[in-house]
Amino acid sequence: MTKTLASRRAFLKSSTLAAAATALRDGSLMAHAATQADAYIEIVPNEPIGTIAPEIYSHFIEHLGGVIYDGVWVGEGSRIPNVNGIRKDFIDTMRAVQAPALRWPGGCFADSYDWHDGIGPRDKRPARTAFWGQQDTNEYGLHEFVHTCRAIGCKPYLAADLRSLPARDFYQEIEYCNAPAGPIASNSAARAVPNTLAAQRAANGDSEPFNVEYWGVGNESWGCGGNLTPEEYAAIFRRYTAWTPSYSKDTPLRFVAVGPNGDDVGWTRRLFESLHSNPERPRLWGLSVHYYTSGSATKFAAGDALQFSDGEFYDLLARGSFMERVVTDHWSAMGDANHRVKLVVDEWGAWYGKGTELAPQYNLSQQSTMRDALLTGITLDIFQRHADKVAMANVAQTINCIHSLMLAQEDKFTVTPTFHVFRMYLPHRGAQSVRTEFTAPSIKNPLAIEQSPVGGNSAVGSIKPNATLAGLSGSASIASSGNGKQLTLTVVNPHIDRPFSTEIAVLGGGITSAKGTVLASHDVHDHNDFAHPEAVKPATATVGSPSGGRLIHTFPAASVTTLELALA
């Protein structure tokens, strides 16, 4: 980065829009014709951040309300179109967003779930009282989950029960999932024989192993997962993972340790100090982070999904933007010089209070508006800007829940605006994230007066809210295509009623052509429902021709845009 560029950025950041525009017109690095632009985006391809892991667009489903039963699982005999009992619309939609990984069975449900209950003949499975005050039929279990993943074409991510099952059940669950069929070399003087758990799996319908790589070692162990201290959890993590069976180099075991509630860096620091006190941390691959954005500035999991003021709109997006701090704070708090362990943000989303659920038995289901689409864009852009740190992220939860891509009730189905944003961000996956500077007037958060509640179901603590919201935010990535470099730029304009004419420049390169997709609506309260499944949907963006290697583009008010730019 040149000194001039750095100082100009610093200047622009502290400038008002008018001053910034003047500076740009006079500045040497942006020595281009004066434009009428209201805002500026500068992409710096020679400042790569990291490869964007496709897994940051991953998913999460839990035995909760109408997520599994009705949402995902309708049963083989159902009149609702299904593939071996799995709702066909669910599969098709997950394929449409090329879902990379799917987390199950919880959430809080995981730490009282016995995986043995969900295998074997369905009509013989026990019904259990489970977390969330539910009776679970166990009709949907391990095999059904893996069949769901296979139908989608995604990797399974299992959250293991740490609170109520012993370590032996953890490694035997791995054995049941991953031991190959047929005789296994004994690696001893004993003869090769079939593995008993693999044979049981075959008897239950799947001779081929499930090859599960991602294993969550517990869930929210500071809360519903056991009310543990970081030191207690570290000791248990070490015991559960000290020895586990592995069978193939193609199926590396990647363990995810329970991380903080929101921005509780104290948990992360103490956890890593404790883990570091014993250097053996086999297969610790990720640190789970949960950060939910409450629909209320003052109360967790409150506020209305559909009725909100302009102030509440900006406040939610400002508090959602806090995800950036969550990512950078925990990255530092891990104190891991080599940073072999990455962040796995395996629960995120906007969480509202009751009022818009599909029906009372669909616990935690809620509607999703354009506001949630904007939060989705802001959040995915944060993960993309921190591609060197975030290895996976799982939206909570994919269907009939907190920040869903789909709503389904019996034979009724719709996608939400959030689904469209996931689709629009597809070109980023696997590309190289590059530094991008946005200059636009920021928005004052009118509700930034209180400490905001943080975290998940077992929320504790509070954080200082973001006082301002970025006027434009986004990220850019570069992928090599057959005939040159292809740049993807995603941008969120959160201003409710202000479009931004924006000058886009690529440092050291020229834009030769551009096309795009935009998600915008007349009203930020707009949403899809069963009667109006296409009320909110993306459109082709009106994109002009670049001039002198730069592009002037207008980002509509309250919109998410993907631009695909071809570079010289």
| Interface contacts to ligand AHR, rule CB under 6 A | 62, 106-108, 219-220, 347, 396-397, 402, 456-458
> Least distance (Å) from ligand AHR to the CB of residue 454?
11
> Least distance (Å) from ligand AHR to the CB of residue 536?
24
Structure tokens at 83: 């593939």
> Least distance (Å) from ligand AHR to the CB of residue 402?
6
Q: Which is nearer to ligand AHR, 209 or 260 (CB)?
A: 260
Q: Which is nearer to ligand AHR, 402 or 563 (CB)?
A: 402
CA distances from 189 to 94, 147, 417 (A): 47, 37, 60
Q: Which is nearer to ligand AHR, 106 or 471 (CB)?
A: 106
Q: Are 245 and 277 in contact (CB under 8 A)?
A: no
Q: Which is nearer to ligand AHR, 30 or 396 (CB)?
A: 396
> Least distance (Å) from ligand AHR to the CB of residue 365?
11
> Least distance (Å) from ligand AHR to the CB of residue 401?
7
What is the DSSP code (8-state) at residue 266? Answer: H
Q: Which is nearer to ligand AHR, 42 or 263 (CB)?
A: 263
CA dihedral 415, 565, 385, 464 (to 10 degrees): -70
Structure tokens at 67: 């997520």
Q: Which is nearer to ligand AHR, 111 or 503 (CB)?
A: 111
CA distance linking residue 519 with residue 511, whole number of Å: 23
Q: Which is nearer to ligand AHR, 159 or 387 (CB)?
A: 159
> Least distance (Å) from ligand AHR to the CB of residue 131?
7
> Least distance (Å) from ligand AHR to the CB of residue 537?
27
CA distance linking residue 563 with residue 494, whole number of Å: 17
Q: Which is nearer to ligand AHR, 20 or 94 (CB)?
A: 94
CA proximity to 312, closest of 442, 498, 447? 447
What is the DSSP code (8-state) at residue 495? Answer: -
How many CB atoms lie under 10 A from the CB of residue 34? 10
Peptide bond into 105 cis (omega under 30): yes
> Least distance (Å) from ligand AHR to the CB of residue 148?
18
Q: Which is nearer to ligand AHR, 219 or 384 (CB)?
A: 219
Q: Which is nearer to ligand AHR, 7 or 361 (CB)?
A: 361
φ and ψ at 266, to 5 degrees?
-60, -45
186: helix, coil or strand? Answer: coil
Structure tokens at 148: 């769901």
How far is CA 344 from its chain centroid?
A: 9
How many CB atoms lie under 10 A from the CB of residue 515? 12
> Least distance (Å) from ligand AHR to the CB of residue 224?
6
CA distance linking residue 68 with residue 145, whole number of Å: 10
What is the DSSP code (8-state) at residue 324? Answer: H
Q: Which is nearer to ligand AHR, 236 or 258 (CB)?
A: 258
What is the DSSP code (8-state) at residue 336? Answer: -
Q: Where are the alpha helices (DSSP H) in 132-248?
A: 142-152, 167-178, 196-203, 230-241
> Least distance (Å) from ligand AHR to the CB of residue 181?
34
> Least distance (Å) from ligand AHR to the CB of residue 136?
14
**Pairing of the two strands 551-555 and 500-506:** antiparallel
CA distance linking residue 212 with residue 171, whole number of Å: 12
Side chain identity at residue 527, one-letter code: H
